[in-house]
Chain A
Amino acid sequence: MDATTLTLAQAAQALNAREISAQELTRAYLERIEALNPALNAFITLDAERAMEAAAAADTRLGQASATPLTGIPLAIKDLFCTQNLRTTCGSAMLANFLPPYESTVTARLKAAGAVVLGKTNMDEFAMGSSNETSFFGPVRNPWAYDRTPGGSSGGSATAMAAGLCAGALGTDTGGSIRQPAAMTGITGLKPTYGRVSRFGMIAFASSLDQAGPMTRTVEDAALLLQEMAGFDPKDATSINEPVPDYHAALGRDLKGLRIGMPAEYFGEGLGQESRTAIEAAMEVYRSLGAHIHPISLPMTRHAIPTYYIIAPAEASSNLARYDGIRFGHRCADPKDLKDLYCRTRAEGFGAEVKRRIMLGTYVLSSGYYDAYYRKAQQVRRLIAEDFSRAFREHDLGVILTPTAPETAFKLGEKNADPVSMYLSDIYTINVNLAGLPGISLPCGFDAKGLPIGFQLIGRPLDEATILATGHAYQLATQWHKARPEGKS
């Protein structure tokens, strides 16, 4: 048995039945990482020694009452979650040597459940990017085609998951950074409702949009990870204090009578023909499972990109003010005074895309422009959110089904020169962040080049259970999530 081909749920079962030990499983992943990561560049930092220690502890715990479905499960963590005494870079030269003095709530919960952290995955710098090319540590390659991007910003986690370098991975999603790379690498990626998962210890990009979520082989695996990640955290002032349902138990729901909304605005000109065909086939699967497809309209859709690229950079310019070269992170050499220290430290520590967004955010917040840009964008944001709530209410929908991305994985370097064309690759995911809703991407086919295509299910606030159940039913009826990029290059 090649243990690295198991789903997370299967691995949990094998560990529980003692068919494999946590140490054997962890070692198998570490060996696969050693063989494949030099070409893929999915990990920035590996933590093999501590991973083996955690696996040994898991082996002791397995079979005891305290064991959980995650005990002994090897995970890859996006390098945006602070991990105590394990280097956390956020893909930036600014934090190339940063050793967090504390642990993020999400990773603390997963470790407490017995999960094994293999290492920290590559990402666009400060999560700003849609192709992983803005990372200080070099681009990640897509395991389905090495000359293509895995998407971004959680591209390292996506590639690690797709290439079988971990049993599950963590990403974060501010405008699509879990779902878009999941679609481009043929895996499942869930962005929970804003506030469902604690942001404590996540390095902030745009605080009103950032949310952590699982990236996995299957929807069932995503449910198992979310179960441990979700829940109220007093350390995060925006954490929602509501009970966490049993997501795994919800997976068995029957889809008969489920009402699925299909927004016309998401199936317009920008969507590639092959993606359209694959997503229409997915709708047929849902019809055959007894669900009803309802055409709906979300008229504010086209305003999401400009709205997002005002709000997210504005919040980022404020959040990234903390990188001043004084308390932690990079500092320039021989500053002549304090202002010189700030200006050169930040010029050296940040890459081009991060600087561009800081400039943009500073501009839209600056005196004289605040009302025209930032306030206007916040008003349009409410209209976008109301679009969704109206559609759910008026059509009594359980979920909304859309494409995840306009096209399949693009070539490294293809969109680098033009920030606007890069920004447009998040056109189907950004709305969901602005409205704070849960969204999941799952694979539904391949284009003629053999590149994965994904579709997205959007749910009501805090109703992860319904999108998980809807996604799980699809994966029971189809095989796309089982395809692996073996032998591709």
Chain B
Amino acid sequence: MSITVETVRHVATLARLEISAEETGIYTEQLSRILGLMEQLQSIPTEGVAPMSHAVAMTMPERDDTVTNTNQRDTLLANAPDSEEGCFRVPKIIE
């Protein structure tokens, strides 16, 4: 399986990663090799096998809908790269 430069650019956009022309070349080559390794799975018969998303078969536990978190706005904002008046600050998104 080999993938194209265009696919790598598309995936980088989906993943919100800026990649340079040099990186695009490297990832195209490396991802093709890694995906080549994965081709062997196609030969395994899996019809009727239920996909396993977790190692432990369990149902999602439920709990009472009670408030356990106290207001920690300022503590949480302390890690923000940019904040103002109790809000996260981001670039303007509406023209």
A residues neighboring B (CB under 8 Å):
98-99, 101, 193-195, 208-209, 234, 237-238, 240-241, 302-303, 305-307, 309-310, 317, 321, 324-331, 335-344, 346-347, 350, 355-356, 358-360, 362-363, 366, 372-373, 375-383, 385, 419-420, 423, 433-437, 461
Flag B5-42 by CB within 8 Å of A: 1 or 0 each: 00110011011111100010001001101110111111
Q: A376-B41, A379-B52 are in contact. List 11 more A-B contacts (CB 8 A).
A: A99-B79, A209-B55, A240-B58, A306-B37, A309-B37, A324-B16, A326-B81, A343-B16, A359-B27, A372-B42, A420-B37
Residues of chain A contacted by B55 (CB below 8 angstroms)? 194-195, 208-209, 385, 433-437
Shortest Cβ gap from B53 to chain A (Å): 6
Bound-complex Cα distance A336 to B91 (A):
7
Bound-complex Cα distance A184 to B4 (A):
38
State whether A330 touches B18 (Cβ < 8 A).
Answer: no
State whether B52 touches A385 (Cβ < 8 A).
Answer: yes
Bound-complex Cα distance A433 to B17 (A):
29
Bound-complex Cα distance A317 to B63 (A):
29
Bound-complex Cα distance A310 to B51 (A):
13
Interface of B is mostly: loop
B75 at the interface (CB under 8 A from A): yes
Near A by CB (< 8 A), chain B positions 41-95 give 41-42, 44, 46, 49-56, 58, 60-61, 63, 72, 75-76, 78-82, 88, 90-93
Shortest Cβ gap from B76 to chain A (Å): 6
Shortest Cβ gap from A203 to chain B (Å): 13
Give 22 A-B contacts (CB < 8 Å), ordered by A residue: A99-B79, A193-B56, A234-B63, A240-B58, A302-B40, A307-B41, A329-B81, A331-B81, A339-B16, A347-B17, A355-B19, A356-B30, A359-B8, A359-B12, A360-B35, A362-B14, A379-B51, A380-B41, A382-B50, A382-B51, A382-B52, A420-B37
Query: Which of A194, A330, A360 is B31 in contact with, Cβ under 8 Å?
Result: A360
Bound-complex Cα distance A337 to B94 (A):
10
Bound-complex Cα distance A209 to B53 (A):
10
Residues of chain B contacted by A331 (CB below 8 angstroms)? 81-82
Bound-complex Cα distance A344 to B19 (A):
9
Query: Which of A194, A317, A437 is B15 in contact with, Cβ under 8 Å?
Result: A317
Residues of chain A contacted by B37 (CB below 8 angstroms)? 305-306, 309, 420, 423
Bound-complex Cα distance A342 to B15 (A):
9
Which residue of chain B has its CB nearest to the CB of A436? B55
Answer whether A101 and B76 are a contact pair too, CB < 8 Å, given A356-B27, A379-B52: yes
Query: Which of B3, B42, B52, B72 is A363 in contact with, Cβ under 8 Å?
Result: B3
Which residue of chain A has its CB nearest to the CB of B74? A101
Shortest Cβ gap from B93 to chain A (Å): 5
State whether A381 touches B33 (Cβ < 8 A).
Answer: no
Bound-complex Cα distance A419 to B53 (A):
25
Residues of chain A contacted by B19 (CB below 8 angstroms)? 347, 355
Query: Most chain-A CB neighbours within 10 Å: which of B7, B15, B39, B91?
Result: B15
Residues of chain B contacted by A382 (CB below 8 angstroms)? 49-52
State whether A363 touches B16 (Cβ < 8 A).
Answer: no
State whether A420 touches B16 (Cβ < 8 A).
Answer: no
State whether B16 touches A342 (Cβ < 8 A).
Answer: yes
Shortest Cβ gap from A358 to chain B (Å): 5
Residues of chain B contacted by A358 (CB below 8 angstroms)? 15, 17
Residues of chain B contacted by A385 (CB below 8 angstroms)? 52, 55
Bound-complex Cα distance A382 to B60 (A):
20
Residues of chain B contacted by A238 (CB below 8 angstroms)? 54, 56, 58
State whether B78 touches A344 (Cβ < 8 A).
Answer: no
State whether A346 touches B18 (Cβ < 8 A).
Answer: yes
Bound-complex Cα distance A208 to B34 (A):
21
State whether A98 touches B79 (Cβ < 8 A).
Answer: yes
Bound-complex Cα distance A238 to B61 (A):
8
State whether A419 touches B34 (Cβ < 8 A).
Answer: yes
Shortest Cβ gap from A319 to chain B (Å): 12
Bound-complex Cα distance A339 to B18 (A):
10
Bound-complex Cα distance A37 to B38 (A):
40
Q: 5 nearest interchain CB pairs?
A: A436-B55, A378-B51, A331-B81, A328-B79, A382-B52
State whether B79 touches A101 (Cβ < 8 A).
Answer: yes
Residues of chain A contacted by B11 (CB below 8 angstroms)? 359, 362-363, 366
State whether A379 touches B18 (Cβ < 8 A).
Answer: no
Bound-complex Cα distance A269 to B40 (A):
19
Bound-complex Cα distance A343 to B15 (A):
8
State whether B27 touches A376 (Cβ < 8 A).
Answer: no
Residues of chain A contacted by B33 (CB below 8 angstroms)? 419-420
State whether A355 touches B80 (Cβ < 8 A).
Answer: no
Residues of chain A contacted by B92 (CB below 8 angstroms)? 337
Bound-complex Cα distance A241 to B76 (A):
31
State whether B15 touches A195 (Cβ < 8 A).
Answer: no
State whether A379 touches B81 (Cβ < 8 A).
Answer: no
Bound-complex Cα distance A363 to B27 (A):
12
